[in-house]
Amino acid sequence: MAQLRKIAIVGSARIPFCRAYTGYANETNLSMLTAALAGVADKYGLKGQAVNEVMGGAVISHSRDFNVAREAALDAGFSPRTPGTNLQIACGTSLQAALNLGAKIASGEIDSAIACGTDTVSDSPIVFGSKFQHRLVDLNRARTPQEKLAAFRGFTLGELTPVAPSTQEPRTGLSMGEHCELMARQWGITREAQDELALASHINAAKAYDAGFHDDLIVPCAGVLKDNNVRADTSLAKMAVMKPAFDKSSGHGTLTAANSTPLTDGASAVLLASEEWAKARDLPILAYLSFGQVAANDFAHGEGLLMAPTIAVSEMLKRAGLTLQDFDLYEIHEAFAAQVLCTLKAWEDPDYCKNVLGRDAPLGTVDRTKLNPKGSSLAYGHPFAATGARILGLAAKEVATEMKQRALISVCTAGGQGVAAIIERAA
């Protein structure tokens, strides 16, 4: 059997992230992902060139988004010989795509790949209810005037009421925010702690912008030049006046618009390769993708919708022979400030680590100065499928340019799942 090869992270490109219904109100999943992929092609001299595979997808998609990875790769100017694969695992989509593609690179199946993701809330598909849908199907199949009339027998105007996309979990009927409120209550996470973490995210993101960290990571799209959710001027006092966003009636709600990610539009992409492919093209190697893990839990019966990353990280650390403290950087996706704080508390909890993670001792604490030092999703926003690639690209640049040896990445997803990865500095 051939020896596994290293998975090189060459670099990344993303478009600015925008709050829904603002900068990208007239854009689509395809147009945004095309811009991100074109950014990769321009940055690394790949226009007209073939990449062995582009993999990614969108969480909120139209029927017209047929294999958006393939179509965007073609629109972005890659060779028609570049195959595209659609993948969707909610908020972990583009990170899972990187793990899948990395495995192919490691095994020698391919030499180059792009992991990507895109999502637009502004262009959400609006559909009709099942009764009217069935009428349209019958109308399409009708061959005679009588059959066409029969398709609308008994029709009422109420059937035209559109069905908006739902954020509810099919197994519980609760939204992600409602689930996270339950987690915050279970783990004793206060409103003040959540606001403090959210404030730190905005401050760190603003500092990263001011320092020029994002200058070579972000490519313009639709006239937008930078993320429009970062609030350099926010404060705990401003956050304190926000009303609960998900638990509005009990008097105990702690999640607000200030400590939860906003609905966001955006797209991102990361270029992966074998060392040989990158070196042959004189391309940089920022870091290596060395480990990955996906996990799931029984969230419908009380394990916490967004707690599966605790399992993924624990299992990955076992395989890697590492401890939770063996990292210079922790990039934990901030779907909600409460989710991050619940995760950190769970890793410190002896009972949770024993009964859920199967460990004899707690994983322990994380040095907060190493946690999301450039800000994360609370500041930048969270276009669901695009977030993993944003984090992977940012972390790779950070370990390469700031002499950090190793980074841990953790992304929670809908459906009670989590995706984790380890990257290591190349030199």
Q: Which residues are catalytic, by number?
A: 91, 382, 412
How many H helices and E strands in the chain? 14, 12
- CA 52 vs CA 31, 88, 137: distances in Å: 22, 20, 39
Task: Find all residues with CB under 8 Å of 264, minimum gap 6, and list them.
Answer: 17, 18, 19, 20, 119, 121, 229, 381, 382, 383
| Identity of the amino acid at 336 | F
Could you write out the DSSP letters of every residue in 296-356? E--GGGTT-TT-HHHHHHHHHHHHHT--TTS-SEEEE--SBHHHHHHHHHHHH-HHHHHHT
Q: Are 52 and 65 in contact (CB under 8 A)?
A: no
Q: CA distances (Å), 42 to each of 158, 219, 279, 280, in order?
A: 50, 10, 18, 18
- The whole-angstrom separation of Cα 384 and Cα 116 is 11
Please tell me whether residue 409 adopts helix, strand or coil conformation: strand
Query: Angle at Cα 421 formed by Cα 42 and Cα 56, nearest 5°?
Result: 45
Closest to 243 measured CA to CA, from 233, 234, 253, 235 = 253
* Residues 199, 2: Cα–Cα separation, whole Å: 49
Instruction: Indicate the Cα dihedral angle 129, 134, 135, 138, nearest 10°.
Output: 160
* CA–CA separation, 9 and 398 (whole Å): 12
Q: How many angstroms separate the CA atoms of 123 and 417, rounded?
A: 26
